[in-house]
Amino acid sequence: MKFSKSWLCEWVNFSNSASELAKRITMAGLEVDNIYSISRRFTGVKIGYILQCYTHPNTEKLKITQVNVGTGELLNIVCSASNCRAGIKIPVAIVGSVLPCNVKIRQIKVCGQISNGMLCSFSDLGININNENENSIIELEEEAQVGTDFYTFLNFHDVIFDLNLTPNRGDCFSIRGIAREIAALTQTKIMEPDFKIVKPNIKDTIPIELQVPEVCPRYFSRIIKNINIKAKTPFWIREKLRRCGMQSTNLVLDINNYVLLEQGQPIQAFDLSKIVGRIIIRNANKNDRFKSADGNDIMLNIDTVVVADEDKILSIAGILGSQSSSVNTHTKSILLESAFFSPDYISGHARHYGILTDASSRFERGVDYNLQLKAIERATQLLIDISGGDVSTVVSIESKCNYPKQKRIKFHRFKLDRILGYHIPDLDVLMILKHLGFLVKKEESDWLVTVPTWRFDITIEQDLVEEIARIYGYDNMPNQFPLLNIEVNNTKKRDQSVIKKIRSFLVSRGYHEAITYSFVKPEQQELFFPDIRPFILPYPISSDMSAMRLGLIQGLLNAVSYNQKRQQPYVRLFEYGRTFIPCKSSENNIQQELMLACVISGTRNLKHWSIPVQEVDFFDLKGDLESILELSNNNKAYKFKAEKHPAFHPGQSAAIFLEEEKVGIIGTIHPKLESELDLYGRTFAFEIRSSTIDTSIIPTFLEISKYPSNRRDISIIVDENITFDSIIRSCFELGGTFLKDAKLFDLYVGNGIKKGKKSLAIALMFQSTVCTLTEQDISKLVKKILIHISKKFGASLRD
């Protein structure tokens, strides 16, 4: 939201400088992003009047003018602007003037004719209006006094405040709303500009039928006939719009935008000649299509509310006007609309269609439902004063039972003191609430507070505490901590400690943390979870972000694709976040799980002259996962079992089990999925429930044995479906405390090995902490292990 200090001063009287005001506004919770001047500095520019204008004798592209600038002497000035003509008032840079970029005006000859100055355009004065006419000379109003300094006349000393408003402060999207805040901060009164109500002089009206009062409980309309649509918008209106970041288009739209900025109430204008029959506020019919004023064709859902006549749709209610009813240069009569639309409805539908307009951005935050009549009267007055015309009475339809309920909050004195940790006197509390528009009734030591109709963000006592604190001034309260009873959540603290260790570990291994959206494309997610129906958002940000994610890997793979397309050969990403699994037994039918996921792709190392380029493989990722599980000091409780998954290669994926509970999945991404996501090269991923990794388990420390270790190698033949992990676990069961380690150092399938069998070569490492193991001791242990795995797995020694 942008506003100028000069416009604000028309509403509220304050003595603060721009920087002081910006600081106070920011401290009150309305963050000022920027303060800047409206134009670059220039001097010596006067308001002049063109008495004569004729074609240059030596070229048809130039004109010679006789200009009065109030000095008693007419100036001969050569001009090339197409709109240069006699009888208009313009800014004139006389000889000696200094324009932006230090351009000094001197007397010069132009094609043989002396020119004693320059007739100025916006671009000449360093004013950016983003308009095709910015090089035309500026035409001023008749009221402009010849000889007046132009810089002072238009108050170019003015500054612009650029506010970064939070979504809950819809009441501040207008000069009225900002003035209300400034008045409360400076303890002054709002000086609302007076305007004369236009008396109706025609009886024409259009009936209104309201079919959706829950969405539109208040609707006003008025006919204005015989307007001069080609009348030029007054310079003061155009300048106010420009300073607030809006460009002038035509008189009707300019006035609507002016009222929008001033009052905060959107106004819609329809071409009266294009309206058939009565106005109907209704839901869209099946297969209804809507063509916006900018030419976009939209298929409407049946729950979309539209403003229509008996023949066609005039607008998507509160969001966008249609091409078929828009005002154009041939318009002679209009129907003005001023309505209140439900914030919840507008928010959902504006986002569904991906449409953000000045009107929808205000309606979705909440517009004061008492503003509609005042706004339509203000727009009428401005339009009639400028263009003339005939005015009908205002036709209204209301459903008061569907108005937003005006909230009443019991405000306890002791809660205010307890939350702030500081006592603000009752009189100050009452004055602050009064200046902000709250109605306050004293009830013993407490208050009953009625929230004003423009404050949709105030719902509970704590909101009132915040209002008191921000207006009173946080810097006026001493720094002291309130006394609160705080219960420490040890589980949350433990989870934070776990992920902190995991983050640190993964970063040390070359991973980067990613934070992906919780909303994903449902068609893409179905490739990962074809048998689970996700929770679909009723009003998503976009159609590609309409499903709640069931896993983290999908988002990470999209991030891998993004990086690969930007020539990143070394990609290692991880994410810690929530997934949303449909579960009827959980709150809101959604079970939220905190998960950890990692993906790797590309080269094993960053490119280096001394290291050969190698591609990552499955075991690189598995090694990283096992290292993470080592942090729990309980890694032997985890098992990997081969398991197929739609997202992974059928022969290169495994489920992760903790004891007998499945807690995750790891594998190589399926080639079809790699193609679907535009991944090149092999990509590997795992996802595991983070709550199963408990780094709080205290590790057991053993004394390093001073006795020698002994290695024995065994080579066995087993069925192909028997995992090495299950064999190793059996070895440790039989080896007792003497078996310190067991490693697979060879895997062979082929000649000499029967089909369906495989050969495993295992190195067993034995050691005692109390004595030197003899050959006989070791042989007994090896024999015991071989007998056990022979019985359990059908293993046989390889010749």
Distance, CA of 54 to CA of 120 (rounded, Å):
18
- H/E/C letters for each residue in 584-610? CCCHHHEEEEEEEEEEEEEECCCCECC
Known binding-site residue numbers: 457, 463, 466-467
In the three-class reduction of DSSP (H, G, I as helix; E, B as strand; rest coil), residue 340 is classed as strand
- H/E/C letters for each residue in 53-73? EEECCCCCCCEEEEEECCCCC
Distance, CA of 643 to CA of 661 (rounded, Å):
14
Provide long-range contacts, Cβ within 8 A and 24+ apart, for 637-640.
Answer: 639/725, 640/666, 640/723, 640/725
Take residue 383 and report the two structure tokens written for it. Answer: 């339009």
Return the amino acid letter for 643: E
Host H or E run for residue 118: strand 117-119
Distance, CA of 430 to CA of 443 (rounded, Å):
13
Host H or E run for residue 464: helix 461-472
Burial-class residue 404 by CB neighbours within 10 Å (0-12, 13-18, 19+): middle
Nearest to 422 by CA among 474, 372, 371, 464: 474
CA quadruple 522, 528, 532, 535: dihedral sign: negative
Instruction: List alpha helices for 235-357, DSSP H.
Output: 235-243, 251-263, 343-352
Nearest to 9 by CA among 237, 236, 191, 255: 191
* C-alpha distances out from residue 221 to 104, 121, 330, 394, 673, Å: 53, 39, 21, 6, 56
Residue appearing with tokens 């008396």: 199
Structural contact between residues 330 and 279, judged by C-beta atoms closer than 8 angstroms = no
At residue 252, φ and ψ (nearest 5 deg) are -65, -50
Structural contact between residues 568 and 681, judged by C-beta atoms closer than 8 angstroms = no
Take residue 393 and report the two structure tokens written for it. Answer: 């009475």
Known binding-site residue numbers for Mg(2+): 457, 463, 466-467
DSSP state of 566: T
Host H or E run for residue 491: helix 490-508
Return the amino acid letter for 219: Y
β-pairing verdict for 108-110 and 113-115: antiparallel
Three-point CA angle 748, 751, 755, nearest 5°: 80
The CB density around residue 145, as the number of other CB atoms within 10 Å, is: 11
Residue appearing with tokens 């019991």: 410
Instruction: List alpha helices for 436-489, DSSP H.
Output: 461-472
Residue appearing with tokens 């390093």: 704
Helices (H) and strands (E) in the chain — how many of each?
19, 39
Distance, CA of 731 to CA of 717 (rounded, Å):
15
In the three-class reduction of DSSP (H, G, I as helix; E, B as strand; rest coil), residue 16 is classed as coil
Burial-class residue 715 by CB neighbours within 10 Å (0-12, 13-18, 19+): middle
Return the amino acid letter for 56: H
Distance, CA of 439 to CA of 454 (rounded, Å):
13
Residue 533 CB partners (closer than 8 Å, separation 6+): 582
The DSSP bridge partners found for residue 718 are: 758
Structural contact between residues 208 and 397, judged by C-beta atoms closer than 8 angstroms = yes
